[in-house]
Amino acid sequence: MSQATGTITPDSVGHRLCAACQSVGACKLGLKCLGLDDQGAVDFDILCGPQFEGGRGVAHGGWTAATLDEMLGTVAMLHQTLTVTKSLTVEFLKPVPIGQTLKGRAWNDHKQGHRWHNVGEIVLAATGVVLGRATGVFSQRNPDHFDRHEAWLKAELERVSDQPS
């Protein structure tokens, strides 16, 4: 699969920020990427803020899933490959406390053609207990991914608007 040439440079926060976070210059989920370790895994400092509180004192599951998605998605990026999530399986092992320092680690398990099979975990920093884990498949994306999406969406909406109501 073809890919845009050139080096993928992380933002000042250690990874590439998504579009919604670029204006604030920080990951709104509370992730800080520490980069690749000597085994090629990506390490993170994480803090789940009160805006993501679900049950009393603990994170909404959507925060945990989104955070693991971001962590696993960063693996290929730091290896100079842009991907999108094709599938993500999350295990919610223990409630994730709000406002406690967390650590994250994500890595590639294996590759299958243009698909990266990645794994990651969120742990309570104070004790190292694993709170959440995910496996996911990340497909290397073509340079025209978003153009293609816009063209597809336009055609899809036109197809419906052409139909008699």
Ligand X SMILES: CCCCC/C=C\C/C=C\C/C=C\C/C=C\CCCC(=O)SCCNC(=O)CCNC(=O)[C@H](O)C(C)(C)COP(=O)(O)OP(=O)(O)OC[C@H]1O[C@@H](n2cnc3c(N)ncnc32)[C@H](O)[C@@H]1OP(=O)(O)O
Nearer to ligand X, 43 or 95 (CB): 43
69 binds ligand X (CB under 6 A): yes
Site string for ligand X, 72-111 (x = CB under 6 A): -xx--x------xxx-------------------------
Provide DSSP, 82-147: -EEEEEEEEEE-SPPBTTSEEEEEEEEEEEETTEEEEEEEEEETTT--EEEEEEEEEEEPPTTHHH
Q: How far is the CB of 3 from ligand X (least distance, A)?
A: 13
Q: How far is the CB of 133 from ligand X (least distance, A)?
A: 17
CA distance 156 to 87: 23
Instruction: Identify the DSSP state of 80.
Output: T
Read off φ and ψ for residue 94, nearest 5 degrees: -145, 155
Which residue, 30 or 73, is less far from ligand X as judged by CB?
A: 73
Site of interaction with ligand X (CB under 6 A): 15-16, 18, 69-70, 73-74, 77, 84-86, 115, 139, 145, 148-149, 152
